[in-house]
Chain A
């Protein structure tokens, strides 16, 4: 079965600084990769997804992620963080024809003014 590791439990960045959240996956076949964001008391919102094709994918809110098969990684990046980006971010991996998505433990992002 697929699995996901998010090595960073909590990250603090200053507003305007760049951001990179790490995600490593384990899956024997071509993975379907997702990044979601969750604000306190809310459900999850999809930021971006990778199924195939260009390994650099653009998402909403200025986020992007790069799929690196050789490193089994799908890191999320943003060039300039805004205070409203403070939330919890989840990386997830899915398998073909299976909605049993596996989520990482999440990375909580704090944005300093």
Chain B
């Protein structure tokens, strides 16, 4: 069974731009969570989607948004990028009801210049 895939793996954007990251969960998994990982703040929960509905949201500004499609694939969008948004963005999928066993993708490394 294929693992969680994230595209692109690396991205360089300029401050003020917007970006969209994509995540394809493991087949059969309906829950997708997003995390931001930085050296200073560590791993922080962004939001979680289940069956196209956002169920939980972390403490991030409204510039961070996401959605989930009927095939469980998910996207997250960051608008008006700031330098501090540079991070590794990780997507995780799970089958069970939370807190289920989460399987992480390799992440998207976003650099904002």
Contact = CB atoms under 8 A, between A and B. Distances in A.
Contact of B99 (A90, A95, A104, A106): A95
Q: How large is the interface on B (under 10, 10 to 19, 20 to 34, 35 or more residues)?
A: 20 to 34
Nearest to B97: A97
B54 to A, nearest CB: 11
A99 B101 contact: no
A98 B98 CA distance: 5
A101 B43 CA distance: 9
A97 B55 CA distance: 10
Contact of B55 (A32, A36, A42, A99): A99
Interface of B: 4, 31, 33, 35, 42-45, 48, 55-56, 58, 90, 92, 94, 97-107
A99 B43 contact: no
A99 B107 contact: no
A90 B104 CA distance: 13
A49 B99 CA distance: 10
Main secondary structure of the interface of A (DSSP, over half): strand
Q: How large is the interface on A (under 10, 10 to 19, 20 to 34, 35 or more residues)?
A: 20 to 34
B73 to A, nearest CB: 17
A2 to B, nearest CB: 10
A97 B97 CA distance: 6
A34 B101 CA distance: 9
A100 B94 contact: no
B7 to A, nearest CB: 13
A26 interface: no
A99 B56 contact: yes
